[in-house]
Structure 1
Amino acid sequence: MRTRTALAAAAAALAAATCLTPTTTAVAASRQPYAHACSSSVRIDGFSDALDKKTFQGAFVGNLSALAAGEDGTVAALSDRSQLFSLDVRQQGHGAPSATPVRVTDLADEKGGPLDSEGLVVDRDGTRLVTSETEPSVRRYDRDGKLLGRLPVPAALQVAPAGRAAPNQTFEGLTLQPGGRTLIASMEQSLAGDGQDAAGRPLVRLQSWQRHGRDEFVLGPQYAYPADKGLGVAEITAAGDGRLLVLERGFTAGTGNTVRLYLADPRRASDVTTVTNLPGGAAVRPAGKRLLADLGACPSLGATTRQPQRNPLLDNIEGLAVMKRSGGVLRLLLVSDDNQNPVQTTRLYALTVRLPRP
């Protein structure tokens, strides 16, 4: 959405990695105290502002709202202005990520119009699944940006008056669970008529689809997720074991951004597809969640900011991708959306997360 405005080394093999490429090789996590700790589970390895206010082949490299590991070793970075960049992302010796654009692809809707593109998945065959907040929608594109189709969306999740969603508060996150059979999109905020859980946290809906055959996705269960008060769900990403990494984010003028990383588990949550108004009674169980880190508690590592922030490291973080899985240790890449605003920054962050056991 266009808002206004890292733990010592995990394992020797993990810390020695020099290229952020996806893998599932298992290595044991170190039990030593963490350096650059944001929490007992998360450390920040470094950051980079090298992409800030840059252009590539005439395209502004900013407004980045989502990241996904590409099938060709690159990282796909989605701009909310209907453009998809391919980045060559590497980890420098001091832990900071470096990124170089190598390709840009234009995206459009069925009529050739622009998208408010927010969520991104690179499917196993290289197909790009992209959400737009406008309707909302999930569309499929090939590597060259050709529109291949569109997934069904429940009527209630559509923007009012067609449904009960508020404009620019819809499909902000998108992820594909391991195995490639279950796709999940996250609404950013609650639907009109939906309420809070017993702790006073607004309930946001997560919509799933199940894959039938190679390309067809049909509507699956819908879950309730309790977002922190004053924050919205900016991104979701599969943790690799059925759980989800959830990025919650908010902005307060004069104070700056709040960004929290949660681990959520929808596997025992109720299907709320037929629940008109959440919370829907005692029998309805929302997805459980556990705080991994408030990124405002990370060391700033010398970062600077052009607007008030409680930690100069923070900005409008919207994109999150798992770049490497090593047992219960994940290497993450995050990106902030600068909204093409001179006081905001396009910043890449490298984090290491040690997942707690289920």
Structure 2
Amino acid sequence: MQGRRWRTPTGSQGCAPGERGAPSLTGVSTAVVATVAVVVSLLLVPVTGGVSQLAALRGDTPRQPGPGGVTGNVTALGSVEISASPKTREGIYGRVPVGGLSGFDCDFFGDTSGYTSGDTAVTCLAVSDDPGNRGPVRAYPLDPVTGTVGAPVVLTDSAGVPYRPGTVEPESIRLLRTGPGPVSGMVWSAERSATVTVADRSGRARYTLPVPEGTRPAQGLEGLAVVPQEGGGVSVVTATEAAPAGRSHPVVTVHGQDGPTVFEWPGRGISEILDGPQGSLLVLERGYSAGEGNSAVLWRTDWKTDAGGDRLLVRRPVADLGVLFGAGRVGNVEALAWGPRGQDGRRVLYAGTDDNFSAPPEGTQRAVVHSLLLDAPDSRF
């Protein structure tokens, strides 16, 4: 499919993750590394009809469900299949397959200053989970409206050398900026090596952030969020897929200036997280059952402190993608990214599926961008 110029819908405004302006990398060597990471592992909990749930993060036993109300309205806008543009077939990477897009992020401040795909001025970047077996470890410019991807952005180590095959397996990616103008860099997480890398906009690594001890290779960091901090800088939130060695459940590790704080949350499957307003997180939980196929549920989570001083995570269901798009069409959802916000306060959310390099006609999985519209009459988003 030939790409076209992406335009913000009529009546919409640029939006930043979490409604707090674009992430800042001011003083990245201290702001990012000092606040370091909030490392999260959250797993699937059945939807409870809109009732908020209160989960204790210290220890293994969740609290009883707390009071709550219905979630905000969510509308399915449609889906588009991801396809290669002519740019992906040019030069030395012409035979490298497009696939395995396990995470992407979008930025709506850059206008034409983002990564480009053919004639499309896009501001999204999607990362492939190919560990270098089919081509270099790479990301792709992505137009979330047409589904078109452009020429690859090769991810490299701090010396500017492409990663050796099998050393890293990217899972999620977030864009960074230092102010008006082009995107200044990116943060991406890897599952196989369990690393978090801060890179410049060319994909060259600048920093590697610490991760929880005992994180298991190939079952490690699955999701990633970048949370702007007051006064500048960002903190990083990552989601692990499985329990670290020596623990019964996946963990929530908060890496603060005073050292790490480790929490546990029992459950069943998370594939992505995204920063929201007022320090909240949007959590994408995914499952699979024989005969029913894939399931995907969105939760909003907020940090709270109870009367006893225990830190809690309050969560409430936002949307069941299987209901919105159909259980047979939801796919292997692994990516979340914010889209533009309209003047009426409603916000676009993109959810992307990973085809695991098994797209038709050889396979049965598809790479798709689902678009949702989130109503926000009560400022939940």
- Smaller-chain TM-score range? 0.5 to 0.7
CA contact (8 A) 1:83 1:106 kept: yes
2:365 equivalent to 1:344: yes
CA distance 1:139–1:131, shift in 2 (3 Å): same
CA contact (8 A) 2:15 2:340 kept: yes
Q: How does 1:89-128 map to 2 (within 5 A)?
A: 89=144, 97-109=145-157, 112-114=163-165, 115-125=168-178, 126-128=184-186
Residue 52 (structure 1) shift: 7.8
User: CA 1:15–1:204 in 2, change beyond 3 Å: closer, same or farther?
Assistant: farther
The Cα of 1:67 is off from its aligned counterpart by: 1.1
What is the deviation of 1:188?
1.7
**Alignment pair present for 1:65 and 2:102:** yes
Q: How does 1:30-49 map to 2 (within 5 A)?
A: 41-49=73-81
User: What does residue 260 of structure 1 align with?
Assistant: 297
Q: What is the correspondence of 1:179-218 to structure 2 with a 5 Å cutoff?
A: 179=229, 180-195=233-248, 203-208=249-254
TM-score between both structures, scaled by the size of structure 2: 0.64
| 2:367 paired with 1:312 | no
- Aligned 8 A contact 1:223 1:286 in 2: no
Measured after TM superposition, the shift of residue 123 of structure 1 is 1.1
Cross-structure match for 2:208: 150
Distance in structure 1 (CA, Å) of the matches to 2:228 and 2:211: 22
Q: Contact between 1:319 and 1:336, CA under 8 Å: does it hold in 2? A: yes
Cα pair distance change 1:322/1:225, threshold 3 Å: farther
- RMSD of Structure 2 on Structure 1 (CA): 3.3
Larger relative contact order (CA 8 Å, sep ≥ 6): 2
Residues 72 and 374, structure 2, Cα contact 8 Å, conserved in 1:
no
Q: Which residue of 1 aligns with 2:269?
A: 232
Q: Classify the secondary structure of the residue corresponding to 1:297.
A: helix
Post-superposition shift, 1:132?
0.6
Q: Which digits, 9 at most, give the CA deviation of each residue in 1:64-90, with x for residues without a partner?
A: 11111145251011111221111233x
- Whole-angstrom CA distance in 2 between matches of 1:85 and 1:357: 33
Structure 1 residues 52 and 314, CA gap change in structure 2 (3 angstroms): farther
Counterpart CA distance in 2 for 1:344 and 1:222 is 39
Structure 1 unaligned runs (5+)? 1-13, 27-38, 90-96, 157-162, 196-202, 211-217, 270-281, 301-310
Pick the structure with more helix per residue. 2
Query: Which residue pairs with 2:348 in the alignment?
Result: 331
The match for 2:139 is 84
How far does residue 140 in structure 1 lie from its aligned partner after superposition?
Answer: 1.7
Distance 2:227 2:88 in 1: 32
Q: Which residue identity does 2:273 align to in structure 1?
A: I
Which runs of at least 4 in structure 1 moved beyond 6 Å after TM superposition?
52-55
CA distance in 2: counterparts of 1:246 and 1:139, whole angstroms? 21
